Structure 1
Amino acid sequence: MIIGSVRCELLIYNVHSLKEKRSVLKSVQTRLKQRFNLSVAETDFQDVWQRAELSIVTVGNTRTICEKELQRATALIDSEERAERTLTDYEWL
């Protein structure tokens, strides 16, 4: 069993409140959970308007399977026009 995780720092554009930021993040998190077999959580920068960190975790039989799922997840984040992925850190257990 392999556990793969990725931490993504995001810059969120054109938001002027935490409520607007949460709206963008909630949309991304919901799409990730519905389309892929992943767990997603906001793990840092909860009190900053235009910055966020999402942690995404998946479990699989092989590292290749986990890697593909996490790459699809980062591609979905990259497709979000209101946010830009800046730092990405993968971890394997």
Structure 2
Amino acid sequence: MIGFIRVELLIYDAQSLKEKRSVLKSIQTRLKQRFNVSVAETDHHDVWQRAELSLVTVSNDRAVCERELQKTLSLIDGDPKIERTVTDYEWL
């Protein structure tokens, strides 16, 4: 089972692409270190206060994938620098 999540984020305090990248890099590093997921910025590359991250995890059990992805969303939601606006799930 492959679990895929696409999340759109708002980064309110970013006043430059450099600030945006700093916030995203921090989030991506924490997600990769704590969870069994792959993470990439997939859209809105040239917009300061908006980002899209795609997260993928693989397991032989859908429940395990769901749990892992829910934990990643909890970490994202717990970061005061960003706000999650749209979340799309896909199961393969």
Q: Same fold (TM over 0.5)?
A: yes
TM-score (norm 2): 0.99
Structure 2 unaligned residues grouped into runs of 5+: none
Deviation at 1:71, TM superposition (A): 0.2
Residue number in structure 1 paired with 2:51: 52
> TM-score when scaled to structure 1?
0.98
TM superposition shift of 1:67: 0.2
Which segments of structure 1 move beyond 4 Å, counting only runs of 4 or more? Answer: none
C-alpha separation between the residues in 2 aligned to 1:57 and 1:14?
Answer: 27
Helix, strand or coil at the partner of 1:56: strand
Q: Which residues in structure 2 correspond to 1:1-93 (within 5 Å)?
A: 2-93=1-92
- How many residues end up aligned between the 2 structures? 92
Secondary structure in structure 2 of the residue aligned to 1:67: helix
Matches of 1:58 and 1:14 in 2, distance apart?
30
Residues in 1 aligned to 2:14 and 2:56: alpha-carbon distance in whole angstroms:
27
Give the CA deviation at 1:13: 1.2
Cα deviations by residue, 1:2-46 (Å, 9 ceiling, x for unpaired): 000000000001110000000000000000000001000000000
- Kindly provide the amino acid, as one letter, of the partner of residue 38 in structure 1: V
- Counterpart of 2:55 in structure 1: which amino acid? I
